[in-house]
Amino acid sequence: MTKTTNQLTFECETGNYHTFCPISCVSWLYQKIEDSFFLVIGTKTCGYFLQNAMGVMIFAEPRYAMAELEEADISAQLNDYQELKRLCLQIKKDRSPGVIFWIGTCTTEIIKMDLEGIAPKLEAEIGIPIVVARANGLDYAFTQGEDTVLASMAQRCPRKEPKLSISKKQSLIQNSSEHAYNSTNYSIKKAITPLVIFGSLPNTVASQLTFELEKQGIHVRGWLPSSSYSELPLIQEGDYVVGINPFLSRTATTLMRRRKAKLISAPFPIGPDGTRAWIEKICNIFNVQPQGLIEREQSVWKSVESYLDLVRGKSVFFMGDNLLEISLARFLIRCGMIVYEIGVPYMDKRYQAAELALLQKTCQDMNTIIPRIVEKPDNYNQLERIHELKPDLVITGMAYANPLEARGTNTKWSVEFTFSQIHGFVNTQEILQLVTKPLLRNAIFNSPVPILYNTKN
Amino acid sequence: MKLAYWMYAGPAHIGTLRIASSFNNVHAIMHAPLGDDYFNVMRSMLERERDFTPVTASIVDRHVLSRGSQEKVVHSIIKKDKEEKPNLVVLTPTCTSSILQEDLQNFAYRASLETEADVLLADVNHYRVNELQASDRTLDQIVRFYLDKSKKKNILNDTKTLNPSVNIIGVVGLGFHNYHDLSELKRIFADLNININLVIPENASVHSLNNLPRAWFNCVPYREVGILTAEYLKKEFDMPFVNITPMGLTQITSFIREVQNILSNLGKHVDYEAYIDTQTRFISQSAWFSRSIDCQNLTGKKAVVFGDLTHSTAIARILHSEMGIRVAWVGTYCKYDVEWFKRQVSDISEQIVISENHAVIAELIKKTDPAVIFGTQMERHIGKKLNIPCGVISSPVHIQNFPLSYRPFLGYEGTNQIADLVYNSFTLGMEDHLLDLFGGHDIVNADEINQQSSVTWSPQALLELTKIPGFVRKKVKKNTEAFANQQTISVITVETMYSAKEKLQS
């Protein structure tokens, strides 16, 4: 079953796999975009999923709601425009958001509700921007939901510099130069580079990455999304854009085709190897000679040495559900692990080209097998392969984690990688903590009296 | 369209899946888009299920949308038949797939020609019934199917058992404390000298369903699931059933008397009064508890109750009739069975609340300002905001409502559990109140005072610090300052913070 070629191979199975519905992006995007309100136009099924998947968040009066379709909506006895207007006015009254996102679902697709057509009219009528994203399970998996939202937002980024915000911009420059004063390599130009980074990250992680670039003298113009809708970054023709997550291919396409931006194809800043490659690639584009990056990467590796001892030589199987798989596998191979299989919902070979190249190179450097990449996996077949290969760790969804543990297989819940801080040099340890937790814990269980914890039938 | 943030009862297919996956060796195939198999996560997480949930999806994607499922559903069923060899495959439509109006009935029929397994299409309308109603219907549907089949094959077993026996109908996966309730029910029936004929659907084999008519009568412990089945069995096989929920002493007594009544109608004369008396006075502690001084303090205290039909009515009755607590109002989210609900609680409270909207319930609780709430997880959170204690008595629930320890709500042990729940909710509330009155927990944080730091923070770094969640902020501040001291940095910048995080964590 193990491959011996040194070329990456791609397989495609039946697509019968477990993943989260893409509307789950609401749960992190409403937190990121602080003046937003997300209206998911769908059925009870969507609502039930969100309510359960978001856990305790749901009780914190989140800025999201369902527009729950009833039988009369399905059979078109009610007028979509009037219904949406009624709900949006209610939202405007109760929450007065800066933007309302309409999340289209499977049902709106099937009944062909013209959300893109209705939104501009209603937007003009109620005076709040309405952004439409079709994050449905017919077309997308889990994190791709964010991709559909960001692709829609990309269209809303200003094309011209607004005149009034000069003072704001200056204060931004001052902010970033404050970092520069304190950094060791202050000397490089302070001018804002025509670079916009896309992908939603917690604010602290976003500023960490911004800061890494600033240390190289690259001052990022802005992020898509920023923490408020009113601060969407300027994107002009010929500007550069770079992604921080592997699942943002639609956003990348939109930025290139509709906004005429130039995409920097780089590996993603996950793990110190990825982060270094990401920064190097950006520096390369702006003709900057990266300073101290290699040392920086090495010192990060050194600081996590104790974790590396735990993972080295251990094998991993990615069942695949959130599209972070290629980058994580690449990082884990660099850590000395053996990856048997990378299941992935969807593989955009162009958008992930640099990441795939780095994966291949990493396998060669580490002199390890090239994992099989399985797009649209079939969970049933995967479970048979897992049974056969007996990997040390399976990274999988919650539907399979407990049953696999009961059969003596170490598992890590894949969704945690989506919700944890895993980007940049600073968060290397966080990824390794996630990966090593099941190994550490189960080592404890197996040492003194394994029979106590053996639940295999 | 309806603006909704939270729902008390899930969509119909969840009910169907709960029934299907509760049976032994029954597989459900959902006709659903990617991501709709969240049921598997809930079952695997909430119930900490060791086995793979027997639910898979025949995925509805763009191709299905444009060309119809064609052979896909049939193939999925046949494939699963070969892989898992189930006794029955339940084809389950979802909200989305039911709009497509594909002839799923036909798919089920075609597949059944090639499968070892029986194939059924769950007969539920997603826009008209919710999770609870759907589970009732699906159970009824499966039972009918197998009894009809047994009749045709002449393998129906309707010879009554020699000794009195009962079927327990409606114990379901992901049900509120259902497994513990089942143990308690079995205990009562054992005490009453009644054999258990079958328990359905939990862990039952569909091939044993032909033995259902062997029981003398049926027991439906919950109002939500099983009534349809019991009514069908009554009509078809003249089997009496008891549908009083044995929750709380009053209701347990009625329940046992009803069983006695049923048996005597069937010619078996028994007298359970002595049993009821002993159990009530000595086995259950709750009758004594109600008399004790502790409970006296609760007299006239104001409570509100909200939940599903079974638990809301039973808990309200316990509070009102057994503990002397004033039930300001009692409500349910089961809109479809309002008449029954009203009949059950009309003597308990003047105000009866029927709503599926948690905001309405929150508003009402605020207005009523009770000393305690008994409700679902949603009411618990409402209570948290309003600083009112809440005992969780009904679904929807979280993982903490699937306890490892023995926590029945039914039977005599159930009365003890409920008494503890009620009493603990009140005392905690009282304790909190007293603490408030006397100035709270008076503990000085010595660390905080001694933390005179020689380093200063740049405004940007301070801003960054405020972005860190409250519960770890103090630790981050301390660590960063320690790091700064160690590196002899006098002004902490954002960079210092990141370096500190990196260095000090390892």
* Residue B270 near residue B262, CB atoms below 8 Å: no
Q: Does A415 touch chain B (CB under 8 A)?
A: no
Question: Are B297 and B424 within one domain?
Answer: yes
Question: Residue A186 and residue A340: Cα distance in Å, rounded?
Answer: 45
What confidence tier does B433 reach under pLDDT thresholds 50, 70, 90? low
Question: Are A345 and A437 within one domain?
Answer: yes
Q: Is the pLDDT of residue B498 over 60?
A: yes
Question: Are A227 and A308 within one domain?
Answer: no
**Residue A318: inside a domain:** yes
What is the pLDDT at residue A161? 77
Q: Is the pLDDT of residue A150 over 70?
A: yes
Question: Residue B243 and residue B221: Cα distance in Å, rounded?
Answer: 6
Q: Is the pLDDT of residue B125 over 90?
A: no
pTM of the entire predicted model: 0.88
What is the pLDDT at residue B407? 96
What is the rounded average pLDDT of the residues B238-256? Answer: 97
What is the rounded average pLDDT of the residues A191-200? Answer: 90
Question: Are A309 and A411 within one domain?
Answer: yes
Question: Residue A377 and residue A15: Cα distance in Å, rounded?
Answer: 5
Question: Residue A91 and residue A69: Cα distance in Å, rounded?
Answer: 17
Q: Taking all residues of chain A, what is their mean pLDDT, rounded to a whole number? A: 89
Asked if the Cβ–Cβ distance from A426 to B33 is below 8 Å, we say no
B15 to chain A, closest Cα gap in Å: 12
DSSP codes, B296-318: HTTTT-EEEEEESHHHHHHHHHI
Q: Is the pLDDT of residue B480 over 50?
A: yes
Q: Are strands B372-375 and B302-307 parallel, antiparallel or unpaired?
A: parallel
Among A180-184, A205-209, B296-300, B351-355, the minimum mean pLDDT is found in: A180-184
A12 labeled part of a ligand binding site: no
A21 labeled part of a ligand binding site: yes
Our measurement of the distance from residue A360's CA atom to the centroid of its chain's CA atoms, rounded to an integer in Å, reads 22
Asked if the Cβ–Cβ distance from B34 to A403 is below 8 Å, we say no
Q: Is the pLDDT of residue B443 over 50?
A: no
- Residue where a domain terminates, one of A286, A313, A344: A286
Question: Are B276 and B295 within one domain?
Answer: no
Q: Is the pLDDT of residue B435 over 70?
A: no
Question: Are B238 and B375 within one domain?
Answer: no
Interface test with B, best of A138, A139, A295 (most B CBs within 10 A): A138
Asked if the Cβ–Cβ distance from A20 to B35 is below 8 Å, we say yes
Pick A19's closest partner by Cβ from B3, B35, B498: B35
Query: What is the residue range of A96's domain?
Result: 22-140
A335 labeled part of a ligand binding site: no
Chain A window 158-177: which residues touch B at a Cβ cutoff of 8 Å?
175
Question: Are A318 and A392 within one domain?
Answer: yes
A141 to chain B, closest Cα gap in Å: 7
**Residue A179: inside a domain:** no
- Structure confidence by residue, pLDDT tens digits, B132-171: 999 999 999 999 999 999 999 999 999 999 999 999 999 9
**Residue B190: inside a domain:** yes
- Residue where a domain terminates, one of B239, B263, B280: B280
Question: Are A129 and A199 within one domain?
Answer: no
What is the pLDDT at residue A71? 87
Q: What's the CATH number where B471 sits?
A: 1.10.8.550
Residues of B in contact with A70 (CB under 8 A): 1-2, 127
Question: Residue B240 and residue B234: Cα distance in Å, rounded?
Answer: 6
Residues of B in contact with A211 (CB under 8 A): 494-495, 498
Question: Are A326 and A390 within one domain?
Answer: yes
Q: Is the pLDDT of residue B116 over 70?
A: yes
Residue A308 structure tokens = 């590396």
Q: Active site includes B294?
A: yes
- Residue where a domain terminates, one of B249, B280, B311: B280
Q: What's the CATH number where A334 sits?
A: 3.40.50.1980
**Residue B144: inside a domain:** no
**Residue B468: inside a domain:** yes
Q: Is the pLDDT of residue B323 over 70?
A: yes
Helix and strand element counts for chain B (H, E)? 22, 16
Q: Which residue out of B294, B347, B369, B436 is catalytically annotated?
A: B294
What confidence tier does B481 reach under pLDDT thresholds 50, 70, 90? confident
**Residue B136: inside a domain:** no
| A101: three-class secondary structure by DSSP | strand
- Residue where a domain terminates, one of A252, A286, A320: A286
What is the pLDDT at residue A183? 43
Residues of B in contact with A86 (CB under 8 A): 1
**Residue A9: inside a domain:** no
Q: Does A227 touch chain B (CB under 8 A)?
A: no
Query: What is the residue range of B328's domain?
Result: 288-437
Our measurement of the distance from residue A13's CA atom to the centroid of its chain's CA atoms, rounded to an integer in Å, reads 23
More confident residue, B220 or A189: B220
Question: Are A272 and A202 within one domain?
Answer: yes
Question: Are A317 and A379 within one domain?
Answer: yes
What is the pLDDT at residue B64? 87
Question: Are B412 and B325 within one domain?
Answer: yes
Number of structural domains, chain B?
4
Residue B204 structure tokens = 């039952």
Long-range contacts of B284-290 (CB under 8 A, 24+ apart): B284/B249, B284/B412, B284/B413, B284/B415, B284/B416, B285/B415, B285/B416, B285/B419, B286/B249, B286/B322, B286/B415, B286/B416, B286/B418, B286/B419, B287/B249, B287/B322, B289/B419, B289/B423, B290/B322, B290/B323, B290/B324
Q: Is the pLDDT of residue A178 over 90?
A: no
Question: Are A316 and A257 within one domain?
Answer: no
Chain A window 47-66: which residues touch B at a Cβ cutoff of 8 Å?
47-49, 51-53, 55, 58-59, 62, 64-66
**Residue A164: inside a domain:** no
What is the pLDDT at residue B446? 40
- Structure confidence by residue, pLDDT tens digits, A129-146: 999 999 999 999 999 999
Asked if the Cβ–Cβ distance from B49 to A403 is below 8 Å, we say yes
Asked if the Cβ–Cβ distance from A15 to B34 is below 8 Å, we say yes
What is the pLDDT at residue B450? 43
Q: Does A130 touch chain B (CB under 8 A)?
A: no
% of chain B at pLDDT higher than 90: 68
What is the rounded average pLDDT of the residues B371-389? Answer: 92
> Buried b / exposed e across A155-189, counting CB within 10 Å, b at 16+?
eebeeeeeeeeeeeeeebeeebebbbebbeeeebe
